[in-house]
């Protein structure tokens, strides 16, 4: 974390180019200083184990392009753009066309393939885009997830038929809307870490994902943890942390 | 519905004891008139197929006793007192000690045993009192329910081991708190009518039963219908209607 | 629960290690297995008494068409597409034009006409589409419902005038938005099973159907059960279960 | 409103005891000045047509007694203490024992009997205390309301039997918890002003009165207006305003 | 209410054209029978003192036109169409062009001018459309309201300057969004009946009118009653009931 | 506040042109009278220290233009139009083109530059428009804020690097959506008055700013106060009050 | 902030007692290190301008006493204990009996009296305890607030009579429950910084302070900022920051 | 999936029809069967990697004791009783006094010590009981967590001073109420898996933990996942899964 700058000050001190008092002043905040003109967070990969993802909504195509360029120029790891609209995607591809697009996610410089077994389950077909976001983010970090779609509890046998596969995962991500019961059932049947992603799938009392969220948080099956509604990116980030921690 | 009174008026008219104009006035509201001094609903059993249950909370022991006495004296069917506290129970038993008590429910003059197969499932031990209320109400209407407790999805095999029994029910009542996933799973596995009762079991994000309620209403498994939180009485009432309708 | 188990049972049978009766018992759960490449749930009709309905929202027209084709090719019962938008309807009709469309619902191969008396009531004209969905789903399962529209409590006499008809139903479905009082009134006046469907009709404090939902769940009239907001399909599914159970 | 003080200043001006500039300063806020040591609102009866009611909860018995004494000593109209607990009641009675107590409400110096026909309906027995508060407040203002208890929609005929009486009221107050449907039905059946009071009667999805409140505000029957949950006092206040306005 | 039909039956009975038993059957439901093919509520004006208003949203232009025509043809009082969109207005005007339009409300056959003093206050300019709806509905019933716009508490002197006028009203309608404080202030300053209409004006924590609604229901100033969010029509209906009751 | 009118009355009295009684009547409400035809609040700047801002949403371009013209013609201080859409901006510029536009805010006649140090922080890029509104409003009152964008807690070092600057502010405005943690951190690190503005940035559980709002109100760091969601204008108004009070 | 430690390291470096590499390691986190065994935040007074207040609820009497002792022994500024129950108060007084108690707040070593004019208003008598907490906290920081109780908008003249006093404050704190309209009215009438504190006073739709909170956040009067429900301490903390900033 | 199937497999094995390996595979799902009279889940440890914890609330002391005895007699792993009240604890200790009690948690037969580095952080002292529950559960599974209490963001330096330690954890559990900002800050500063536990610490707008929950779910720092409010047990369960998965 900026050791060269730190070392510079100390060497100045050793060479009496600055006084101890001056050094005190310089050092008081240094560990967090950003040297230069931009606040793009080049050190996040070191600090958090992940590249900063650019979140599309609320940014102009120009802003998106500028941030992507900055990240590609001044860092060396993977760069991810999520929830981009068509114009943002167009602007971002123009920065560097060597990019993998999955749904509304763009991935530049994916990490080398790592040998982890992540299973991403969805309860229904409509949960697909959130699972896509999760899998694309995992891909950016070197992980090709196994995708099992449409295995919700309305037809429980579909899940049970795949249970052996699911049980052998390193991490399971369950993506489910409506009442989100799939997450409880999977957690009850396995000993694997489960990250649950409530989705805004459904209507009426599904309340845009709130019902699934509350159900997952209140599960009678212990050992599941939950990320925000539709936050496939966050689930992937949690999975990456676990896999990195255990490696 | 009060045909004798109606007939009386018509006969008065035929005998010219009253004029057509007077008859018009008398008849305008007659079909719904209660002749007498009390509004206790003696005709509910005829009209709705169930005796009026006396709901304890918010009534004084004296009020409870008076209503129970009124019902026992002027009707002939079963009488049910629900959610009674100790003092209400004591006052009600003093009215007529020939009563069956189940938890906080008292049943006088239960209907003759009917041959229906109702299965009441609970997700956990703590859902018991609500299931008790449901089963006692069914008993009042002549139905001895089969009780399967503590078969929640955290240990799904407990349910699956009883599946054959569950599938053969005429009506299934699922009583579950927390995330209420048991209702979805049971509905997905069977073709039987399912009445789901969310309970206030759980803490934090279980939100006193709201989470289970929303999950049940949003279930991906179709064919379940839901009653209010902790409303074991209401679930029994719904089941009785179905069984009466189909008999 | 997979091909080997299946093979084992069959071989046991062939070798007279088990009787045909025993095999039947063992095989009753076999539909859990998905034999082949797809998770479309061909056995749902056997297991739940209803064909899988295809829920339109969140699926591409291509996905809708593929699922409909799969179901028509590999099952023999009714197929229902609900809440389809114009493009989904077009794509689905192209799969098989021999289809009955009611509002935004398409029904292929409706079940033979069954002799059940289901009455669908709406409180106001604006509740119509939800009632349409309910009635179309009933039609798919062989039931021609009686439709009584616009009989809400603001003009109670409209309902009372039809009361005799309503009282004779096997199942009543009440579709109501705003304060949903119609469901309470109907339940109070009859002994028939009542399935209540809150709708998102109304504005302001109607809160997109939440008010009607809560009112129905809190009804002082016992014996009603409730499905999710605007869920006409679910109400029909519940009615079908009741009617099948009682047949 | 404090004309003597106002006149005093003007007379000082006329007598040149003060300059116009001084008068300007004095007069800038005078119309609202309270001359003296207390902020008890002695003019409320003149300004709003009602005496200030003392709301018990959150006040010590001593504070309650002091306020009641202040009001009795310095005003001449009725004084009402609402929702008083036992200790507050004891302290308040000690101030002046010539008081009428109804439930948790105390009324001193009720207004002379006025000839108005107010009907207070409750849906169930448990709504009684709120209706008591309403009726006691009406009594304080000279109105003896007609009380019709336990006429909820679960037994609609009980209401219909009294309809003629209800239709002839000057104002109707409907007190109802649970789903509050009684208010809609009464409004639909009559042309009388209806003030609806949701109560916290019920459990679970009744949500302490919120469900009844929302249902009343969303009623399909126009012409009802609503006060806060359990606010029997407020309903009486609204009724008094209407009756005073029309006298 | 349908006395001719009633009389017919009785005369048949007197003339022995029908037996008492048949008469019983016929009479059981007669008072509420609608004789004919339509459920349009022609008797509402008699029963509730107001013509049925046609609520636009959720109806097709054709449905709107048909209902308006029906009402104009078979009743004699005022007819009101509210919240109509452009196409509905066009369709409705084509039915009968002799109509007064105010904003999105159309009024046919307004009642003769009545001599009542209703004051409609708005807190801000943006509350205008709801006040328009209220005033147009009052106009349909013969009342020309006094309109005081933009007198919210951010500039309290604007209200105080008009206070004498406001105090002399028969009924005050306060239309306010955001925090809705105007209703409390007006109620505190006057003895007139106040009907408060919360509006969805504002953003963020105004929560589409919920904040104003709750504030009005919780007002420390007694004697106000409240209608639903943006329900200018309902406020007018309540005012009409009061004025009719007091006439 | 209208002293000339007041003085006039008093002089009339002194000259016996009016009697003391007449003066009493005239004076009862005078301090708040608006002499003339308009309710535009010309005295707000004197009374509240700020010009009335015109809030765009819900007003027609014509209304916006009329109000702006009125304010420019009859007051002398700054005039601000906020949240204007394109047509409103066009109409307002046509009134007086000598205007500074920042985003959707227009400022006429900004106050002379004052020497205050206000720092406006945003957590992310998407919070920009709310910060723009805040800064434009400050500019209208003579304050050029220092803008520090995109310093949220996901990269805490970005904030820490600027800490010395932040600590020296007179007032800090923190604009943050999602979980709003930046406001807590800044309040914990400084002794400066902090006004927190929750924004509707984020999706799912961010609930349109509610999460940030609640988090800010519940902060473990004392000394922060909060304005409504997305209310950059309100934050500026609070800051101006503080700076004016301390000047 | 720990400069001696910092200086020590640098001197070690200058004296070659440690290498630059070792210094880098030591310095990386030093500016925030707490040297010793306790995390009690002795530097908060320097950093935030206020002593750390000890919040009573959820702590044992022993924990409270230990924290108070720690703060009294190792810091020199005021120490505040808020919302203490009887046992906590007893335990805390035993630590140091030289303490000022106001309601449930204890203040040790109050700061010297500062010359600031803070006015604390309450809407009703029941808001008193929250105002007490605010005033006691101000007292701890050297400020004797002026207390104006019971000046809510139901009797607006009570406030108006004190307006001159209120207008001359440096900061106004408005403490109000129910609909919280007092805050809007005060903000509209003055140019002073207003900190609004919603309280849980009221019942039913007051929703434990949520209604007042939302109303204050949505006020049409700009320049108010808000703290959490019942958070009198937080309002005082905000006021102290403003007064310190402007001194 | 029942005894016959079990028997079949075993007989096949005896008859060498299947190999031991095949039998293992077949039997892996066998725990679905409950052999005998009880539904206590003896196989949960195998299936989910954790012993079934007994959740105290809602169970009688006798029920608690019976379940604990059952688990101790028929399983061999750790047994945990959580949230037990005094009577439950007494009854449970009577079953087997060789138990470790931590707060309201009892642990029998803890797993052998495992070498994992879990850090449990709390924001404030009042979050302690939830952290206790988490740490006791970890202890039952062989993990002695490092406990860092009272490091919330109001005094951020307390956390920063421990950062090196925190960064080296295998899993971090953050326990925080109020606005829950600590979780965001920790996640932003580290690359370790973070499980966040919102607590019901705080009052007013903390809404019993909902604010912290929403804030954690909406965090701008990616890679955190969340369990239910006050669910220290669930956080431990999630941590155990991660550590078991990575071992």
Task: Please state, rounded to an integer, the average pLDDT across all residues of chain D.
Answer: 83
Q: What is the pLDDT of residue C37?
A: 28
pLDDT tens digits along E136-164: 999 999 999 999 998 888 777 778 777 87
pLDDT tens digits along D18-46: 776 676 656 543 433 332 223 444 444 44
- Segment H215-230 shows an average pLDDT of 93
Q: What is the pLDDT of residue A57?
A: 82
A11-31 burial: b if 16+ Cβ within 10 Å, else e: eebbeeebebeebbebbbebb
Residue G233, token pair as written in the block: 């301490």
Judged by CB atoms closer than 8 Å, whether chains meet at C8 and H12 is answered as: yes
* Alpha-carbon distance B8 to nearest alpha carbon in chain C (angstroms): 23
**What is the CATH number that goes with domain F118-246?**
3.40.50.1970
Residues of D in contact with C154 (CB under 8 A): 184, 187-188, 219-222
Residue A195 clears pLDDT 60, i.e. is over it: yes
Judged by CB atoms closer than 8 Å, whether chains meet at D157 and B39 is answered as: no
pLDDT tens digits along D194-209: 999 999 988 888 999 9
Residue G190, token pair as written in the block: 């003055």
pLDDT tens digits along C131-169: 999 999 999 999 999 999 988 887 777 787 788 789 889
Of the two residues G169 and B163, the one the predictor is more confident about is G169
Residue B24, token pair as written in the block: 């018009």
Q: What is the pLDDT of residue B186?
A: 94
Q: What is the pLDDT of residue C187?
A: 93
- Per-residue confidence band for C247, with pLDDT thresholds at 50, 70 and 90: very low
> Distance between CA A84 and CA A90 in Å, rounded?
9
Task: Please state, rounded to an integer, the average pLDDT across all residues of chain E.
Answer: 82
Residue B122 clears pLDDT 50, i.e. is over it: yes
Q: Is the dihedral of CA B9, B14, B17, B23 positive or negative?
A: positive
> Distance between CA H135 and CA H129 in Å, rounded?
10
Of the two residues G57 and G109, the one the predictor is more confident about is G109
Residue B125, token pair as written in the block: 């031990």
Q: Count A/F contacts: CB-CB distance under 8 Å.
A: 51
Q: What is the pLDDT of residue B127?
A: 92
**What is the CATH number that goes with domain H3-21+32-108?**
3.30.110
DSSP-assigned letter for residue E203:
-
Task: Please state, rounded to an integer, the average pLDDT across all residues of chain B.
Answer: 83
Residue C224 clears pLDDT 70, i.e. is over it: yes
> Distance between CA G213 and CA G215 in Å, rounded?
5
- Segment E37-49 shows an average pLDDT of 46
Among A16-25, C173-182, G135-144, H14-23, which stretch is predicted with the lowest mean pLDDT? H14-23
- Per-residue confidence band for D5, with pLDDT thresholds at 50, 70 and 90: low
Judged by CB atoms closer than 8 Å, whether chains meet at D180 and C215 is answered as: yes
Q: What is the pLDDT of residue E6?
A: 60
β-strands D118-122, D146-148 pairing: parallel
Q: Chain G residues contacting E, CB < 8 Å?
A: 123-124, 152-156, 178-181, 184-185, 187-189, 202, 204-207, 210-212, 214-222
Q: What is the pLDDT of residue C42?
A: 45
Q: Which of F49, F171, F226 sits opposite G226 (nearest CB)?
A: F226
pLDDT tens digits along B45-74: 445 556 567 888 878 899 899 989 988 887
**CA atoms within a 13 Å half-sphere pointing along the CA-CB vector of H202:** 34
Residue D1 clears pLDDT 80, i.e. is over it: no
Q: What is the pLDDT of residue C6?
A: 47
**CA atoms within a 13 Å half-sphere pointing along the CA-CB vector of B75:** 25
Task: Please state, rounded to an integer, the average pLDDT across all residues of chain A.
Answer: 83
Cα G95 versus chain centre, distance: 22
The pTM of the full predicted model, rounded to 2 decimals, is 0.82
pLDDT tens digits along B161-185: 788 789 889 999 999 999 999 999 9
Q: What is the pLDDT of residue B141?
A: 92
Q: What is the pLDDT of residue C9?
A: 54
Q: What is the pLDDT of residue H1?
A: 36
What is the percent of chain F where pLDDT is above 70?
Answer: 82
Mapping DSSP to helix (H, G, I), strand (E, B) and coil, where does residue E96 land? coil
Q: What is the pLDDT of residue B234?
A: 94
Residue H12 clears pLDDT 80, i.e. is over it: no
Q: What is the pLDDT of residue B103?
A: 82
Segment of A28-37, D104-113, F237-246 carrying the highest mean pLDDT: D104-113
pLDDT tens digits along B5-33: 566 776 777 777 777 667 665 654 343 33
What ipTM was assigned to the predicted interfaces of this complex? 0.79
| Chain H touching partners, 3 or more CB pairs below 8 A | A, B, C, F, G
- Per-residue confidence band for B34, with pLDDT thresholds at 50, 70 and 90: very low
Residues of D in contact with B44 (CB under 8 A): 154-155
Q: What is the pLDDT of residue B133?
A: 92
- Per-residue confidence band for B216, with pLDDT thresholds at 50, 70 and 90: very high
Q: What is the pLDDT of residue H217?
A: 95
What is the percent of chain G where pLDDT is above 90?
Answer: 48
* Alpha-carbon distance G47 to nearest alpha carbon in chain H (angstroms): 9
Q: What is the pLDDT of residue D24?
A: 60
- Per-residue confidence band for C29, with pLDDT thresholds at 50, 70 and 90: very low
Q: What is the pLDDT of residue G93?
A: 97
Of the two residues C202 and A132, the one the predictor is more confident about is A132
Q: Count D/G contacts: CB-CB distance under 8 Å.
A: 54
Q: What is the pLDDT of residue C5?
A: 52
| Cβ within 8 Å of residue G15, ≥6 positions away | none
Q: Element (H or E) spanning E214, and its range?
A: helix E210-217
- Segment D212-232 shows an average pLDDT of 93
* Alpha-carbon distance H98 to nearest alpha carbon in chain B (angstroms): 26
Among D98-107, E14-23, G168-177, G190-199, which stretch is predicted with the lowest mean pLDDT? E14-23
pLDDT tens digits along H154-197: 777 778 777 778 888 999 999 999 999 999 999 988 889 999 99
- Per-residue confidence band for C26, with pLDDT thresholds at 50, 70 and 90: low
Q: Element (H or E) spanning H29, and its range?
A: none
Mutation site, A218, A223, A228, interface B, largest B CB count within 10 A: A218
Residue D102 clears pLDDT 90, i.e. is over it: no
In residues, how long is chain B? 247
- Segment G154-174 shows an average pLDDT of 84
Are residues H221 and H188 in contact, defined by beta-carbon separation less than 8 angstroms?
yes
Q: What is the pLDDT of residue D6?
A: 60
Gyration radius of chain G over CA positions = 22
**Domain spans in chain G, listed from the N-terminal domain onward:** 3-21+32-108, 118-246
What is the percent of chain C where pLDDT is above 90?
Answer: 48
- Per-residue confidence band for E33, with pLDDT thresholds at 50, 70 and 90: very low
Mutation site, B4, B6, B10, B26, interface E, largest E CB count within 10 A: B10
Q: What is the pLDDT of residue H8?
A: 63
Task: Please state, rounded to an integer, the average pLDDT across all residues of chain F.
Answer: 83
Helix residue ranges, H only, chain A: 3-14, 20-27, 44-48, 61-74, 86-95, 128-140, 156-160, 163-167, 181-189, 210-217, 232-246
Judged by CB atoms closer than 8 Å, whether chains meet at G157 and D59 is answered as: no
What is the percent of chain B where pLDDT is above 90?
Answer: 48
Q: What is the pLDDT of residue G53?
A: 79
pLDDT tens digits along A103-134: 889 999 999 998 899 999 999 888 999 999 99
What is the percent of chain D where pLDDT is above 70?
Answer: 82
In residues, how long is chain C? 247
Residue B158 clears pLDDT 80, i.e. is over it: no
Q: What is the pLDDT of residue A70?
A: 85
Task: Please state, rounded to an integer, the average pLDDT across all residues of chain C.
Answer: 81
């Amino acid at each position: 974390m900026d050791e060269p700058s730190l070392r510079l000050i100390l060497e100045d001190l050793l060479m009496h180019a600055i006084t101890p008092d001056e050094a005190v002043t310089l050092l008081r905040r240094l560990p967090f200083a950003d040297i230069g003109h931009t606040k793009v967070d080049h050190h996040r990969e070191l600090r958090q184990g992940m590249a900063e993802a650019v979140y599309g909504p609320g940014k102009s195509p120009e802003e998106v392009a500028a941030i992507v360029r900055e990240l590609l120029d001044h860092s060396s790891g993977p760069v991810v753009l999520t929830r981009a609209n068509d114009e943002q995607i167009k602007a971002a591809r123009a920065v560097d066309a060597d990019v993998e697009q999955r749904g509304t996610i763009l991935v530049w410089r994916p990490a080398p393939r790592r040998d982890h077994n992540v299973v991403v389950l969805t309860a229904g077909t409509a949960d697909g885009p959130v699972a896509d976001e999760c899998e694309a983010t995992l891909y950016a970090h070197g992980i090709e997830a196994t995708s099992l779609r449409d295995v919700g509890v309305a037809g429980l046998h579909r899940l049970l038929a795949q249970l052996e596969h699911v049980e052998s995962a390193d991490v399971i991500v369950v993506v489910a809307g409506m009442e989100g019961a799939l997450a409880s059932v999977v957690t009850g049947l396995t000993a694997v870490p489960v990250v649950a992603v409530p989705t805004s799938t459904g209507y009426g009392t599904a309340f845009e994902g709130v019902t699934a969220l509350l159900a997952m948080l209140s599960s009678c099956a212990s050992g599941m943890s939950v990320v925000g509604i539709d936050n496939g990116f966050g689930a992937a980030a949690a999975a990456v942390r676990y896999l990195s921690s255990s490696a």
